[in-house]
Amino acid sequence: MLTNFSTVHSRVSKLRELEQQVVTGETEQMPKKEALRITRELTKLKRNLGGIQDLRKLPDVVFIIDTQKEHIAVTEAQRLGIPIVAVVDTNCDPDIIDHVIPGNDDAIRAAQLLTRVIADAAVEGRQIAQAKGRVEEEAAQQADAEKESQKAEQKAKVPAPPPLDPEEAKRRADEQAKARQEAAAAQKVREERLLEAKEAAKTSTPPKQEEAVKQAEAVKQAEAVKQEEPATQDEAPKPAVADEPDAGNEENG
């Protein structure tokens, strides 16, 4: 389980998901066959992984009752470098155990007693660690508050600038008023220039447009001249042709 913790952790997540579905009543809205399948899977996961349901990461230490029977757990803990606390009987090897507790690992009452003592010690140690963490956090907050108070005191100790003389204050006020007047005049000049530029752009005609207008006027003038020319110039008058005498009249003459 320890060396394959990522896979086991995914199955534990599946166990929590199925439990959430049962608690919220989602299984009651499912078909009976689907709800039965989820219930069977949840029962199987609880039977195999119910003891490590709240295990979010690899343990810092493992407690084993029978090291000979649980030799796989001992091997995995050694491979991962996790300390081992174990009850070692006469038929077990104490050299591979980090913290040995001599005892009978076959007696049920002895195993229950040792397990309860170890569990109580783990809970007490967690409470002590949480209390220590709270104390350290309070100490850090107090240190931060002291630093802030020291900074405030240092700021309060800084002397304030001396007040200005009436003449100096009047001189500065005059300079500021003069600067504001100059800025306003410069802004007004800029606005007038901008307005003049806009009006000039509206009234002026671009060079290309002027050239196009001239070409159009020239074309109109040429067409007008063509229209004024007489139609006789287009069609020249035909020369008059005299009537030829008849051949019979010549013979008679």
Q: Judge contact between 47 and 102, C-beta under 8 A.
A: no
Distance CA 60, CA 106 (A): 26
Residue 232: per-residue pLDDT: 45
Tokens at 38, concatenated: 């989820």
Q: Is the pTM of this model over 0.75?
A: no
Q: Which residue has the higher pLDDT, 248 or 189?
A: 189
Q: Judge contact between 65 and 73, C-beta under 8 A.
A: no
Q: Judge contact between 67 and 16, C-beta under 8 A.
A: no
Kindly calculate the radius of gyration of the chain based on its CA atoms and give it in whole angstroms.
Answer: 55
pLDDT in tens, 198-241: 887 776 555 556 676 677 777 777 777 766 655 444 444 455 44
pLDDT in tens, 27-52: 888 888 888 998 899 888 888 888 78
Which of 140-144, 159-163, 172-176, 247-251 is the most confident on average?
Answer: 172-176
Q: Return mean pLDDT, the chain.
A: 79
